[in-house]
Amino acid sequence: MNEQVNSLFSIPQYQMTERIFRVEIAGNRHYRRESGRLYKSLTTFLSAVMPQNRFLQTWREKMAADLGSAEKAAEYVQATADYGTLLHIAVADYSRFGGVEWQAFDTFVFDYLQNMKLEPGALAAAQKEVTKDFASILQFFHDYNVRVLAVEIPCFSDHGIATLVDLVVEMDSKNYDKTPAEKRERHRAIINLKSGKKGFFEEHIFQLAMERAMFNETYHEDITEAYNLAPSDWKDKPTYKLKNQTDEIDAQSIEQQLYHLIELGKIRGVLSSPKKPVHVFTGKTEYGANPTDNLKTYQYNDFVNLKLFNNE
């Protein structure tokens, strides 16, 4: 996958002036700025340096067993990522246009899910699930009087890591009931949105802490509040799980731990470009001809630039 990425929605203060590209090579995701610098994605970096989560490993093994193969489990994970992107697009459109027209939303979701090539029964169930999850997010917006400042906004660290932050918002500090608006305490916050409904885990806290630090570094801000948000599997009315992780991040000195993980990443070469050359076949090899004549070798950065050039 090679594509240009931009914030789905952002106020002028958080709009970038250069193009950002996302590149996936051999299962590793990178970001490349128009200026030429290459960054390792945050999730790829954390996967390489953090201890393996036993729950997630058990879940992946169970998915592989249930679906018949590791490849099908990987397809499921990709579908989950696509599902998350769908929710982000819906939130961005809701913020941009000042609301949602539900019939048009149903059509949009159906068309998007069709492109994921789901089975008819799975498509209908997924469409219902998206609608419920989106309503959960809107319920949170209502309860906390949320003003969205950015959706999927690119952020960078000088250590060579990049990511897209799900949500940057201004919100009430708690779910007020009858307190007048002028007496409510408000703050700006980073929110990492999870589509799963199993709760939040240690790696989610590390991811959120790094996102907060990278956002502040990129946009010269000093946002301290950091939340995880996930829709609930509700029946009668929309509900959600919201966890303010700020105290947890500070209590565990997560940002200090991240510094050590970054140093570990440098030692392991996680944050440097791979040294191994990339071999690519190009053109056409006629029957009986030597395939080596069509084999080209690239250094990693040159190969990334080639893929981006071909994509454009």
Residue 299, pLDDT above cutoff 60? yes
Where residue 2 falls among pLDDT bands split at 50, 70, 90?
Answer: low
What confidence score (pLDDT) does residue 301 get? 77
| Letter string b/e over residues 211-222, b meaning 16 or more CB atoms within 10 A of that residue's CB | bbbbbeebbeee
Q: What is the mean pLDDT of residues 248-273?
A: 86
What confidence score (pLDDT) does residue 67 get? 42
CA 296 to chain centroid: 33
pTM for the whole thing?
Answer: 0.82
Half-sphere exposure of 150 (CA within 13 A, CB side): 24
Where residue 145 falls among pLDDT bands split at 50, 70, 90?
Answer: very high
Domain boundaries, the chain: 2-268, 278-311
Q: What share of the chain in percent tops pLDDT 70?
A: 84
Written as six digits, the tokens of 216 are 């502040």
CA 233 to chain centroid: 21
Contact 188, 168 (CB under 8 A): yes
Better-scored residue on pLDDT, 15 or 307: 15
Where residue 218 falls among pLDDT bands split at 50, 70, 90?
Answer: very high
Written as six digits, the tokens of 202 are 């240690």
Q: Which amino acid is at 259?
A: Y
Mean model confidence pLDDT for the chain:
84
Better-scored residue on pLDDT, 91 or 269: 91
Half-sphere exposure of 174 (CA within 13 A, CB side): 6
**DSSP letter string over the chain?**
-EEEE--SEE-GGG--SS-EEEEEETTEEEEEETTS-EEEEHHHHHHHHSPPPHHHHHHHHHHHHHHSSHHHHHHHHHHHHHHHHHHHHHHHHHHHHTS--HHHHHHHHHHHHHHTT--HHHHHHHHHHHHHHHHHHHHHHHHTT-EEEEEEEEEEETTTEEEEEEEEEEEESS--SS--GGG--EEEEEEEE---SS---HHHHHHHHHHHHHHHHHHT----EEEEEEE---SSS--EEEEE-HHHHHHTTHHHHHHHHHHHHHHHTTTS---S-EEEE-S-PPTTS-GGGGEEEE-HHHHHHHHHHHH-
Residue 232, pLDDT above cutoff 80? yes
Q: Which amino acid is at 288?
A: G
Tell me the pLDDT tens digit for each residue of 54-97.
444 443 444 445 445 444 434 444 444 467 788 889 999 999 99
Where residue 161 falls among pLDDT bands split at 50, 70, 90?
Answer: very high
